[in-house]
Structure 1
Amino acid sequence: MDVTGLLDTATEAAMAAGPRLREAFRSRPQITTKRDFHDPVTEHDRAAEETIRAVITARRPGGAIVGEEGGETGSGEVRWYVDPIDGTANFAAGLPFFCVSIAASVRGELVAGVVYDPIREDMFTASTEGAWCDGKPIRSEGATRDREAMLLSSYPTPLDLEAEGEEALRRYGRFVGSFAAVRRPGSAALKLAHVAAGWSDAAYGTHSHPWDVAAGALLVRQAGGVYLGDPLAKGDYLAHVGGFDLKNSALAEVLPG
């Protein structure tokens, strides 16, 4: 298995989308919506995915590509999961917390992943060999308990509020009361990359797709952190730095099934 080649391809594809995203950032692009008005998309999402697909197809023909905007195309033992802009709402508004996320799996096993922050130009990469940021090894280390920890979470989302009602707000209140700080930065992939690097201590999300979390999950695990949930299926996820006391955390009540 050419893991290095897969990672190099993912890195090249992510970087290829960078110039357009940097140029368009804070241009207030026109927004259309998908599921509802909470789910925006811009022309730059679609264009960036086309660029990424072109690089992958040229470098590694014969696989399947599963993209947020373009759906699934192709077939083969290698599957690529592509989110051209994870955090579109942030990108469209001019908030610098979004990224390109690309992961590759072989026969159902994640083997390579890239999370690229085009504004800060941080390149997070992971493979079966380890995890890195800008070529330097990273370790998922930080706080050991809630009262010292930074939690990154977009919970409750509108879908959570619809399904759980006031209980979602009460649970969010327990998070706020338990953790040293809770932030809602708005990009699952970049949240996971920050946990992998030890820049934050935990991340929790619901209703995520593989293109949102596959690369970030590999980063966390290969950096020595913990990722719970199936990154190759739609669902919830929970991640934390190594050594964190999840058993006695407020997050213990939302462990993914």
Structure 2
Amino acid sequence: MNVDVPASRELAGIAELAARTTGDRLRTAFRSRPEVDTKRDMHDPVTEHDRAAEEMIREVLGEQTPGSVVVGEEGGTRGDSGDLRWFVDPIDGTANFAVGLPFFCVSIAAVAGDELVAGVVYDPVRDDMFTASLNGATCNGEPIESRGAAEDRTAVIATSYPSPRDLHGDREETLRRYGRVVDAFATVRRPGSAALTLAHVAAGWTDIAYDSSINAWDVAAGLLLVRQAGGTYLPLGGKPGGHDWHAPGYLACVGGFDLAGSVMTEVADLTIAGSGT
């Protein structure tokens, strides 16, 4: 399935429409302290609003692109075996949403065949719509450029590292590496939403981001935003020949950042030479 720039922009518009459909519900529910269930474990929360928002998104995508496949965090994979696949996270940052911290978003991305062609990250609290197509990246319709700090000592890094999964491995080595991050960067933040963090990297509001345990619906839209805005997104730990959005980890940074000279080359076990950054 070949998608040109106009078709990519049309798909991005559909994603925007689907994301905005959830806005009123999520804003109304925000800071209502909804009941929280868990999925895999206590670190993986879900609320009734996650499920309801995903169904609202599925309805719009089904109407606008009949026959497409929707891969959602809450409802799994549904749809025909067509070439167009949507990756949907109805609330990325559920833990923040559930307690009233205003850092969560809706993430929707379109993959045509083997190409990531459109994506949106919608922040309903601020009503910020980050949109990526094959024509570039915007926030609320204005072009964004991924520019910021050039080195660790002046940079803000956002990361969920170390995750509980990281700590279940070599705990001492993991904490040593995290100590290197704290020492090396001007500021370390743990915001709690990979998709919104990547949108902020795309806009130049965060300099570098790293996660070691994510899913396709967390990052598909964000990685396109970063790349279309001129930043760097490196998938980490994926299968050879696999799609970037399926890799279980990532490292992203603003354009012009010195990754080769960064402590993150050690922390993420990254080889910069020949990486195409």
TM-score when scaled to structure 1?
0.98
Letter paired with 2:167: L
Query: What are the residue-to-residue correspondences of 1:29-108 with 2, within 5 Å?
Result: 29-74=34-79, 75-108=81-114
From the superposition, tell whether residues 203 and 165 of structure 1 become closer, same or farther in structure 2 (CA, over 3 Å).
same
Q: Structure 2, unaligned stretches of length 5 or more?
A: 236-242, 272-277
Letter of the aligned partner of 2:201 in structure 1?
V
The residue number in structure 1 matching 2:221 is 215
What is the correspondence of 1:92-241 to structure 2 with a 5 Å cutoff? 92-229=98-235, 230-241=243-254
Letter paired with 2:252 = A
Separation in structure 1 between the aligned mates of residue 56 and residue 217 of structure 2, nearest angstrom: 16
Supply the AA of the counterpart residue of 1:223: A
CA distance in 2 between counterparts of 1:87 and 1:51 reads: 18
2:179 partner amino acid: G
1:13 — aligned with what?
18
Measure the CA separation in 2 of the matches of 1:62 and 1:29: 34
Partner of 2:31: 26
Deviation at 1:232, TM superposition (A): 2.4
> In the comparison of the two structures, how many residue pairs are matched?
257
User: Is this contact kept in 1: 2:9–2:134, CA < 8 A?
Assistant: no
CA 1:16–1:202 in structure 2 vs 1: closer, same or farther (change >3 Å)? same
Following the alignment from structure 1 to structure 2, what is the Cα–Cα distance between the partners of residues 31 and 156?
Answer: 23
- Superposition RMSD on alpha carbons, in Å? 1.0
- CA change 1:135–1:119 in 2 (3 A) is same
Q: After superposition, what is the alpha-carbon deviation per residue over 1:199-231, rounded to whole angstroms, capped at 9, x for unaligned?
A: 010000012111000000000000000000054
| 1:170 partner amino acid | R
Q: Quote the offset at 1:256 in angstroms.
A: 5.9
Structure 2 vs 1, CA of residues 24 and 256 (structure 1 numbering), >3 Å: closer, same or farther?
farther
Identify which range, 3-12 or 177-186, moves more after superposition.
Answer: 3-12
Separation of aligned partners in 1, 2:117 and 2:88: 14
Cα distance in 1, alignment partners of residues 143 and 128 from structure 2:
13
Identical pairs, percent: 63
Q: Deviations over 1:107-147 (max 9, x none)?
A: 11100000000001110000010000000000000000000
Q: Distance in 2 between matches of 1:193 and 1:163?
A: 30
**What amino acid is the match of 1:235?**
P
Deviation readout 1:173-208 (Å, 9 max, x if unpaired): 100100000000000000000000000100000121
Give per-residue Cα distances to partners, 1:6-57, cap 9 Å, x unaligned.
1111000000011100000000000000010010000000000000000000
Judge conservation of contact 1:196–1:241 (CA < 8 Å) in 2.
Answer: yes
**CA distance in 1 between partners of 2:157 and 2:166 (Å):** 18
3-state DSSP of counterpart to 1:173: helix
SS at match of 1:248: coil
Equivalent residue, structure 1, for 2:238: none
Q: Which residue of 1 aligns with 2:274?
A: none
Q: Distance in 2 between matches of 1:17 and 1:166?
A: 42
TM-score (norm 2): 0.91
**8 Å contact from structure 2 (residues 163, 213) kept in 1:** no
Task: Provide runs of 4+ in structure 1 moved above 3 Å.
Answer: none
For residues 227 and 49 of structure 1, the distance between their equivalents in structure 2, rounded to whole angstroms, comes to: 26
**Contact 1:140/1:225 (8 A) holds in 2:** yes
Distance (whole Å) between structure 2 residues aligned to residue 200 and residue 178 of structure 1: 16
Name stretches of at least 5 consecutive residues in structure 1 with no aligned partner: none
How far the C-alpha of 1:255 sits from its partner, in A, is 4.7
